[in-house]
Each structure stands twice: as structure tokens, then as C-alpha cells.
Amino acid sequence: MSATSRKLEGRVAIVTGASRGIGRAIAKRLAAEGAKVVINYLTASKAADDLLHEIRESGGEALIFAGDVSKSADVKAMVEVTIAEFGKVDILVNNAGIIFRKKFLDSTEEEWDKTLDVNLKSVYLCSKEVAPIMIRQGKGKIVNISSVSGINGPVSALVTAAYAASKSGMIGLTRVLAASLAPTINVNVVAPGIVETEMLDSMSNEAKEARLEETPLKRFGRPEEVAAAVLYLASDESDFVTGETLVISGGRPLM
């Protein structure tokens, strides 16, 4: 980990949904920059264990916590474990998310509720739990992972109603948190476009080609590129940035 600038030396970060995809890349990057990382996951225990081993093998510090961040009891337990092990919370990355790829009329109430719980309610619960700790410490950074589906992206980003609603709601909630928790805590959003993760694998080849066509840079993003944006917002370099949405999409909303 010596190749990095160690921008987060000595800090403690919680990353939800960190076992795979974007969350995994974020956890690795924050650890490489010196942060002690709490790897939250729900079901992917093998992937979480592998990530923990990888971080420790590279000289970093981390722990794993299996829990459903849409449940207040699990969130409270996760933060308690973090404090017991590392003594503080400096950074919260709300990354956990799910998607049911169904058109509006084919979707179900259960899928709507589950999506809003995991993608949006979790941001409320986790932020509410760590905010008092950060305020007592005198500083904190909260970074929420939304999507171009939550902003003025192309029509193809607006196919899944619950997902788009949850990601748009996350941006609105971020603005409220930024105003409510200032001047102590900075709260911002990263809104990725199509990124090379398991979610991309679930799309048909036809859908992938259509997304590439509407992306000016003509490629999909890499999880590491999203992680770099999160690092900026989690570091001291963004101390004068709050309530903002940083879009990482290869220019997709331009189309």
C-alpha cells in the first residue's frame, strides 16, 4: 500500500455493501490510503472474507460485519462494533444497493419496498447512527452512492421505477443531511453511470450496446474510478464541498 498518498491515515471508514463491485473497490482504496475499514455485507460472506484477507495482506486494517443496513438494529450493532474495535467513525460510505430489472407495470409492491429500504432507508439509518459520533469528534464525511438514474440521465436510465426513485431520493436526502449536519459533517453524492460490476453482467448484450452508444466516452466505467471519486469526497481535499453530486458516467447524461 506504499504506492498511495495515505490521505486517510488513521481514519475509520464504514462501507456498506462492500463485499463486491463498487463497494469492494471503495473499501480497498480507502484501506490503501490508510483508513481502517469496516466491510459491511449481507450474504456474500466468501467475497467479504476474501476482501478482508486482501486488505490485511497489503498491510491494512479491516473487519467484516454481516448485517442488513435496512434494519435499525443491524445498523446500531455495526456502529457499536466499529467503535469497540476502532474507537471512532470518520467516514461513512452508503453504497449498499439492489435493483429489480422490471418495467413499471411488471413490478411488485414487495420489490418496491425492498428497493427503497435497501437503497434509501439504509442511508437514513446509517447516517443517523454515525452523525452524533462525528459531531462529537468535530468532523466527519458521509458519501452516498447514487446513480445517473437519480438525475437527468437518458431515458434508458429510467426504466426501473423503484431504483430510479430510490437513487433520486438519495440525492434529495443528501442535500437535507448536508444542510442539517453542517458545519461539522460534509455530505455528498457520487452518481455513477454504467460500471463494470455484477449489475452490468445482469444486462442483456443488446442493453449493454445501447448504453455504450449513449455514452460519449464509449466505454463503461471501472469500480476503481468511482472509488477515486469517493476518496476525494472522504479526504481533507473536499473540506469545502458539501451537498454536491459528483457524476462519474463517461458523459452519459449529456446524451
Angle value at C-alpha 245, between 142 and 137, nearest 5 degrees:
20
How far, in Å, CA of 62 to CA of 34, rounded? 11
- Which one of the listed residues 41, 124, 163, 232 is annotated catalytic? 163
Active-site annotation holds for 124: no
Closest by CA to 86, choosing from 14, 16, 142, is: 14
Closest by CA to 147, choosing from 164, 159, 126, is: 164
Residue 68 C-alpha from the chain's centroid: 15
How far, in Å, CA of 163 to CA of 173, rounded? 15
Cβ(48)–Cβ(39) below 8 Å = yes
Q: Which residues are known catalytic residues? A: 163
